[in-house]
């Protein structure tokens, strides 16, 4: 169903209150911490997967370019150094297998933390948590699937980027303001990709049944907030003389700040999805799960 502006702002208010009551700031800090340690193996796997089709050097260059737009050239260089350190070849078959296993576990660890946070937001009862080895295996398989999904989205992003570059070369000089049009198309493409990624995570990561109709509403809101934050932080990084003078350690702090913001946006979007589903979506009229007062 469609939302009036009053209903939307009421949902936003309730989502923010629930975000505070669920201690999302602490959950976001944990997600940011694990992301910092997972980012290198995660990018190595994604670059290798997409590199089979697009070429590893081209993919690596595009990833670093995108990171530079988010956290500045110094931050992107710090992440690139992490990738180089984690991607050093090891001698022997056994060492290679062990290295690949550690790489996979490291890349998927952050998704396990995301699942834990989403289960808390969706008030999944403790008894419904899958126990033991099967729970861990399920989480890892889901995480691996999301890594592959991110690889596919990166491939789509590269294809769209190439198409827009060709389009820009074609319309260059045909009419004034074409750069603004190209930037708008880039932003829309980025929004579509990030929204799709958020929708897939909201749908499959929590151990709760969530309808796609409910998921897309929350994913769009999250995607818009994510793009706004990306724009604002990108402007700050590009204009600030302090950022350009940071050391490698300081650049990692910028990366951590960006990841922390992204985690908070993600959790706020998850809260919004919960409220939409239970008050205006497919769960409206159903007895809500036991939770904080704002979720009653």
Give residue-wise pLDDT tens across range 50-88: 888 878 888 888 788 777 767 667 667 777 777 776 666
- What is the rounded CA–CA span in Å between residue 155 and residue 281? 33
Predicted pLDDT of residue 288: 53
169-180 pLDDT per residue, tens = 667 666 666 777
Lowest mean pLDDT among 45-49, 147-151, 267-271: 147-151
For the cut 70, the answer to whether the pLDDT of residue 30 exceeds it is yes
Query: Which of 161-170, 222-231, 237-246 is predicted most confidently?
Result: 222-231
Percentage of residues in the chain having pLDDT higher than 70: 67
Predicted pLDDT of residue 50: 80
pTM: 0.79
Residue 218 in contact with residue 206, Cβ under 8 Å? no
Predicted pLDDT of residue 178: 72
| pLDDT band (50, 70, 90) for residue 215 | very high
For the cut 80, the answer to whether the pLDDT of residue 40 exceeds it is no
- What is the rounded CA–CA span in Å between residue 250 and residue 78? 9
Predicted pLDDT of residue 93: 52
- What is the rounded CA–CA span in Å between residue 56 and residue 53? 8
Of 96, 94, 103, nearest to 41 (Cα)?
A: 103
- What is the rounded CA–CA span in Å between residue 229 and residue 157? 19
Residue in the structure block whose two tokens are 């929204």: 195
Task: Taking residues 139-159, report their average pLDDT.
Answer: 70
Residue 119 in contact with residue 155, Cβ under 8 Å? no
13 or 161, greater pLDDT: 13
Q: How far is CA 118 from CA 121, 151, 267, 268, 278, in A?
A: 5, 22, 8, 11, 15
Predicted pLDDT of residue 90: 52
- What is the rounded CA–CA span in Å between residue 131 and residue 283? 26
Contacts of 282 (CB under 8 A, 6+ apart): 211, 213, 214
What is the separation, in whole angstroms, between the first and last Cα of the chain?
A: 21
Predicted pLDDT of residue 185: 84
For the cut 60, the answer to whether the pLDDT of residue 37 exceeds it is yes
Token pair, residue 23, equals 């201690």
Burial class (CB in 10 A: 0-12, 13-18, 19+), 246: middle
Query: What H or E segment, with its residue span, contains residue 68?
Result: helix 56-86
Mean pLDDT of the chain: 76
| Residue 30 lies in domain | 5-295
- What is the rounded CA–CA span in Å between residue 159 and residue 148? 17
256 or 154, greater pLDDT: 256
Predicted pLDDT of residue 292: 45
- What is the rounded CA–CA span in Å between residue 28 and residue 284? 28
Token pair, residue 239, equals 């204009």
- Rounded to the nearest 10°, the torsion over CA 47, 52, 54, 58 is 50
Predicted pLDDT of residue 186: 83
- What is the rounded CA–CA span in Å between residue 146 and residue 28? 19
Q: Count of domains in the chain?
A: 1
Q: How many CA atoms lie within 13 A of 52 on its CB side?
A: 7
Percentage of residues in the chain having pLDDT higher than 90: 16
| pLDDT band (50, 70, 90) for residue 290 | very low
Predicted pLDDT of residue 291: 46
Residue 211 in contact with residue 218, Cβ under 8 Å? no
């Amino acid at each position: 169903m469609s939302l009036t502006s009053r209903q939307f702002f009421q949902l936003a208010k309730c989502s923010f209150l629930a975000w505070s009551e669920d201690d999302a700031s602490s959950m976001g800090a944990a997600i940011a911490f694990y992301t910092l340690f997972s980012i290198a193996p995660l990018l190595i796997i994604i670059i290798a997967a997409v590199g089979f089709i697009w070429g590893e050097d081209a993919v690596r260059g595009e990833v670093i370019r995108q990171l530079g737009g988010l956290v500045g050239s110094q931050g992107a260089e710090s992440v690139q150094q992490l990738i180089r350190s984690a991607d050093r070849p090891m001698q022997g078959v056994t060492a290679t297998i062990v290295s690949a296993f550690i790489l996979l576990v490291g890349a998927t660890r952050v998704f396990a933390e995301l699942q834990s946070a989403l289960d808390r937001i969706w008030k999944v009862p403790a008894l419904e948590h899958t126990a033991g080895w099967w729970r861990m295996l399920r989480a890892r398989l889901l995480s691996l699937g999301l890594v592959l999904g991110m690889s596919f989205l990166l491939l789509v992003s590269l294809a769209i980027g190439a198409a827009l570059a060709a389009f820009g070369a074609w319309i260059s000089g045909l009419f004034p303001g074409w750069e603004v049009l190209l930037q708008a198309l880039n932003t829309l493409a980025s929004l579509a990709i990030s929204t799709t990624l958020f929708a897939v995570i909201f749908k499959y990561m929590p151990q709760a049944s969530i309808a796609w109709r409910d998921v897309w509403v929350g994913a769009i809101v999250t995607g818009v907030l994510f793009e706004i934050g990306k724009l604002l932080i990108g402007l700050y990084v590009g204009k600030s003389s302090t950022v350009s003078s940071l050391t490698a350690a300081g650049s990692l702090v910028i990366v951590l700040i960006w990841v922390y913001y992204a985690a908070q946006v993600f959790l706020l979007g998850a809260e919004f999805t919960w409220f939409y589903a239970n008050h205006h979506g497919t769960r409206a009229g159903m007895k809500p799960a036991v939770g904080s007062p704002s979720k009653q």
